[in-house]
Structure 1
């Protein structure tokens, strides 16, 4: 029988955006194992997220002991090993993971310390989670970026915990042919060194949009992006003067709620357990 590593990795999905979680608190085997593997967290993240030797996830999250005033800290990595300040879909999954898998007592509201600051999640039941997102703000409207073919493209640059270039398009199907543009804009020289996610959205009807995000670290469209949903909803809400936007992404539907006296919107959507995984020792050499 092949020996396995003494940690359980849990795969979850938030509207099709997938994440791998490990319990990295001091009471677990994680810290001991981390030193034994001799790999950086970035290297471990790439392995865990790998489509062949891993769980084929968009991100890897280590749940850690809390700082003062928080319930948990998290350390988030994209599938390429890079770090990210915030991810709305990950926050929903993290809330359900912590509440049902590792919390010492039942929690209805969970306070996370993330790279973007405090994120508060509320368990609604039936797999639905409400997340109080970081402040959502427009940084530049419009921002005009020139492509390598000297074409001028207009976006709205917003920050919803991470930066997004947002562009409204005529029909959602057009996004299929815009992936190369997204890839180029994500690394535009004006946005260096960190770059930005690129989110396209189309309006189905007032208050309902379809959106897709080309994500940094994944370097492709993802089935869903929580901060991207908020970014597209923010631009749409300002245009239509609405406080509630339904966002359909390829992986599922989310709701975004804005408040006149609070710059931190609410993101509501699902969080689904996919399964647990244990690595064979020979796979991590």
Structure 2
């Protein structure tokens, strides 16, 4: 016997980085649905993100009731079912979702999310813009050398912006196309086990303005945008140039990163609603 389980899922885009979001608070119907699924959240994430059977998104995010001073907890999954401690573009989408779908009063100054990387604070600014206070950025290693089959010995900066990023400066961002196989190798390099790292390339466009793209864990490809990648690239660029305000153009859109306040950077960018879907999942009862 099969049961039809309609579930409301919202698809959003943060600079072209797409996410499926679910209201998973105690008073929602998610928990009744979850009991019937017969699937783990990781398995369900892969289904929801699937380009054929799902919503074709880069990630899956469940918004849960907050506790201990947090407004909300979140449970985040990449499209392959793996987890990530933090995602800056998802944080912006989550903030607009909470304001407009969960009844958060518009006059509230900020939202406090509990993530795998700790506290993330977000402010909805209007005109689709959201500012997120990211986790502290830091160098794990200012220079790390990795031997790759496709490109030989490569030098990166290893940065943590909530998740690890290998950052490499290149002459033109178009060169990243030819570096894709190298990025794939570096992403899961033996020297970075067990977690590996995202790989972010950047090129200076003009003073205070860089172009960047990230090869993301869990997606296993370049994505249109990566919030933590934008911050990682801006952090390395800022350290070399002393620029405190950095504009980061990613393939999917423009992000602004501000280091004026210290090690916890502010990232600002768009977060837009793509659509609300009644997702019908047939499971064996």
TM-score bin (small chain): over 0.9
**1:156 and 1:166 in contact (8 A); partners too:** yes
- 1:213 maps to 214
Note the 1:245-260 alignment, pairs <5 A.
Answer: 245-259=246-260
C-alpha root-mean-square deviation of aligned residues, in Å? 1.4
Alignment partners' CA distance in 2, 1:204 and 1:150: 25
Alignment partners' CA distance in 2, 1:128 and 1:231: 20
**1:4 and 1:279 in contact (8 A); partners too:** no
Quote the offset at 1:7 in angstroms. Answer: 2.2
TM-score, length basis structure 2: 0.96
Quote the offset at 1:67 in angstroms. Answer: 1.4
> Which sections of structure 1, spanning at least 5 residues, go unmatched?
none
Rate the CA distance shift 1:281–1:146 in 2: closer, same or farther, 3 A: closer
**Residue 73 (str. 1) matches residue 81 (str. 2):** no
Alignment partners' CA distance in 2, 1:87 and 1:228: 9
**2:98 and 2:104 in contact (8 A); partners too:** no
**Residue 183 (str. 1) matches residue 170 (str. 2):** no
**1:3 and 1:280 in contact (8 A); partners too:** no
1:227-280 superposed Cα distances (whole Å, 9 cap, x missing partner): 000000001111111100000000000000002x62100000000000011122
> Which sections of structure 2, spanning at least 5 residues, go unmatched?
none
Rate the CA distance shift 1:150–1:280 in 2: closer, same or farther, 3 A: closer
Quote the offset at 1:150 in angstroms. Answer: 7.5
TM-score, length basis structure 1: 0.96
SS of match in other structure, 1:227: helix
Alignment partners' CA distance in 1, 2:22 and 2:125: 23
**Residue 155 (str. 1) matches residue 122 (str. 2):** no
- 1:233 maps to 234
Alignment partners' CA distance in 2, 1:247 and 1:275: 27
Aligned length: 282
